Amino acid sequence: MFTHLHVNSNYSFCRGASRIEALVDAALARGMSAMALTDINGVYGLVWFLQAARERGLRPIAGAELRASRERAVLLARNRDGYETLCRVISRCRGEADFSLAGALLEDRENLVVLSDDVPLLCALAGQNGTSGLYIELNDPAKEPPLREFSRASGIPPAATNDVYFVDRADFPLHRLLRAIDRNTSLSRIPPEELAGEDR
């Protein structure tokens, strides 16, 4: 059974086009029993996610996608202690001018699952603390071949995700509009890399 481990709601400002309730309902309608909410650099919607999941019978996974400079990773809390660790890392990300995601996770990643396609970040973490809790995130077929090779060489297992920004293809125009607003540009001038695929 596939479980979405990288999902952005409307709390991923100017990126996510779907409300938490719609995301939870869509996961259940597709036969899923669990889902992670991983909004960018924060857990702003977590209370509503936990409430919607509990009311509907979905197992929630607390997480966030951390982006800092050129570093990027999805962090998932294994338990309450992992959630506390996640909150500490987010606080540092938002409060430290010279924040390094690799540095923060080298100091403190207990009870976290880390998914990333950032090879230098994964190498740094695996080199000091081993590969436990580390996964190579695969969500773009164009980038997969070198990541699969890295997985074989490093022993870090791959994990498939979708990097979800909306529930249905009909929501893509809203996602596109949000990206244009965020970039302060016209719809026709949005760089392609700023947009999720229409099936995301």
How many CA atoms are closer than 13 Å to the CA of 111, on its beta-carbon side?
A: 15
Q: Which two tokens stand for residue 5?
A: 């481990």
The pLDDT assigned to 200 comes to 56
State how far the Cα of 173 lies from the Cα of 71, in Å rounded to an integer.
Answer: 28
pLDDT in tens, the chain (200 residues): 789 999 999 999 999 999 999 999 999 999 999 999 999 999 999 999 999 999 999 999 999 999 999 999 999 999 999 999 999 999 999 999 999 999 999 998 989 999 999 999 999 999 877 888 999 999 988 889 999 999 999 999 999 999 999 999 999 999 999 999 999 999 999 998 888 877 65
The pLDDT assigned to 197 comes to 79
The answer to whether 171 and 178 are in contact (CB under 8 A) is: no
Is the full-model pTM beyond 0.75? Answer: yes
The pLDDT assigned to 128 comes to 79
State how far the Cα of 58 lies from the Cα of 39, in Å rounded to an integer.
Answer: 18
